[in-house]
Chains A and B, each alone.
Chain A
Amino acid sequence: MLSRESSATLMSAVSAFLYMEARFQDEHQYEAWEALWTDDGIYWVPANGADIDPEKEMSIIYDNRSRISLRIKQLLTGKRHTQTPQSRLRRIVSNIELMGEHNGDIAVASNSMMFESSLRDDTIWAARNEYRLRYIDGELRMAYKKVTLVNNEKALFTLSFLI
């Protein structure tokens, strides 16, 4: 259990990290966002609920570190048509909570609401986010990010920006 002071310090560092991550995503700073990941990072966006087994059932995204890299490389080609032109994005990150520890990583949860404007239309996305963060060389990094969309049981429009 952290002391009140160190908990407040950690909360402040974690919040700053999540806001920075949100800004990189909203502004399509793909390489800066990729650099936030640890080498064993897992990026998971489940479908059909929050508690499916991604090793057995289909997820919208279930990327290991090398597939995260592939996803970013594709965006960087400039020929990822669904992001050419890029979606215009802004998201609000809120309800940030420290959720204890997970195998030495810092467990964090937040809610987010995203507004996307694309060629198709304007779309609102909302999600519960669960993170495992780790200090590497004094900097926070993401080892795990799970994004549970509120409406992930329904048919969803293309989701090709970084969520």
Chain B
Amino acid sequence: MNIVPRASHWDELIRPDRVHGSLYNDPAIFEAELQNIWYRTWVYVGHESEVPNASDYVAKSIGPQSIIMTRDEQGKINLLLNRCSHRGNQVCSYDRGNARSFTCPFHSWTFANDGRLVGYAFPDGYEGTDKAGLGLGHVTRVQSYRGFVFGSFAAEGPSLREHLGGAAETIDRLVRTSPEGEVEVTAGFLKHRVKANWKFILENECDGYHPAFVHSSIFGVADSAIGTLYGGKSTAITRDYGNGHTEIDLRPEFRKRDQPLSWFGTNEARLPDYTSRMKAAYGNEQAREIMVDGTPHVMIFPNLFIAEIQMFVIQPLASDDSVQHVTALQFKGAPDMNRRLRQQTMGSVGPAGLLLADDSEMYERCHRGVLARNPEWIFLGRGERREGSDAAGFKIGHVTDEVPSRGIWRHYRSLMEAR
């Protein structure tokens, strides 16, 4: 089966309740995704707290592109492409550091940390050459939302705020879990590679149908209350914010429990320092409300997944090769909570994680599975007839319904059809 020649007819591959298996494993489609999604729309790159001081830098990526995120002398964040403007050599070979400039080891061309070419060896050979046109490449647009830095290679298009749309509110909800209103990304990343298409990861993040089965081995032995959140009787909901952003909103279940920090499997008595700082920051009533509701479970299209206590960044490398970068979220001004966030995250995620190793096994088996010729389609019709909408007009469904997948594919199709 080879449908590549017809791949521009996206409506033949993407229907309201099903998508074609080739979307996950056709290398030509992957190339088209790089052009129409990864090198066009807003993609999460890094967090401002990863480069707190002037001249700090950290190695990041947009898909297969190697990006250097720097904070320059003026304090501005830059997303530079790791490619010398002379012969293409990579100018940065370290994961992080502090550098006012990057010197290419090949012919000693030197670039300031805002990308400007500031010098080259034996300059007399370049008489008449204008340095201004020979800087490092930039990600065309760079914008931040509450410390989260996104990049877009498109010179024009929606602003980041427009792209985030209704999902921006989930990030607001996240940062207010800190007594100082800020998230920090300071715990280092685990990098978990899977031989599977990136969209299996993307769709699974807000799939509330799988936990009871994929994670039964850990729910059964860990005395975990997570399982009931995803049960048939759960009042939690799935939500499609549009623009590909999707959420599992667990607040209805947490509000039923009405216990501060129950969302985090703990209570006020066990995190007394955090609790008192929250009350001091927000007042008793609002602090209690925040601590009952918990943090969001939201997938910001196409690559930023905030999973209550941790953050994943999805990086596609090829149609069958992806990396999940994952770290514990850290809340500014919450040391006792942060320790627990790291401990729980380390147990759950990464290559040996008690949860994510099993998800990743499903990604790889799905990837091999869709290579089978029949039945060709992935069926995403669960809950289609009981879809509703919330007060803001966003589509919602039962926690186990496939509202998120349908929303992701609706947006995907619009991006792939755009010229």
On A, residues with C-beta under 8 Å from B are: 45, 47-48, 52, 55-63, 67, 70-71, 73-74, 77-82, 119-121, 153-160, 163
A81 touches B352 (CB 8 A): no
| Top-8 shortest CB links A-B | A155-B191, A79-B217, A155-B193, A57-B188, A82-B361, A73-B221, A159-B351, A155-B323
B190 touches A81 (CB 8 A): no
Chain A residues closer than 8 Å to B193, beta-carbon distance = 155-157
A58 touches B350 (CB 8 A): yes
B96-154 with Cβ < 8 A to chain A: none
User: 13 A-B residue contacts at CB 8 Å?
Assistant: A47-B191, A47-B350, A52-B188, A77-B217, A81-B362, A119-B364, A155-B193, A155-B323, A156-B191, A156-B192, A158-B192, A158-B194, A158-B357
Chain A residues closer than 8 Å to B295, beta-carbon distance = none
Complex CA distance for A63 and B350, rounded to whole angstroms: 14
- B390: Cβ under 8 A from any A Cβ: no
Given A47-B188, A73-B221; A80-B364 close (CB under 8 Å): no
Given A57-B187, A121-B195; A80-B358 close (CB under 8 Å): yes
Interface with A: B62-70, B83-91, B167-175, B339-347, which one? B339-347
Number of A-B contacts (CB under 8 A): 105
Closest to A160 in B: B357
Closest to B364 in A: A120
User: What's the least CB distance linking B119 to chain A, in Å?
Assistant: 31
Size category, B interface: 35 or more
- B3: Cβ under 8 A from any A Cβ: no
- B275: Cβ under 8 A from any A Cβ: no
B221 touches A156 (CB 8 A): no
Chain A contact residues: over half helix, strand or loop, or mixed? loop
A47 touches B190 (CB 8 A): yes
Complex CA distance for A68 and B402, rounded to whole angstroms: 35
Complex CA distance for A134 and B272, rounded to whole angstroms: 37
The residue that A80 contacts in the complex, of B217, B346, B347, B351, with Cβ under 8 A, is B217
User: What's the least CB distance linking B58 to chain A, in Å?
Assistant: 12
Chain B residues closer than 8 Å to A82, beta-carbon distance = 357-358, 360-361
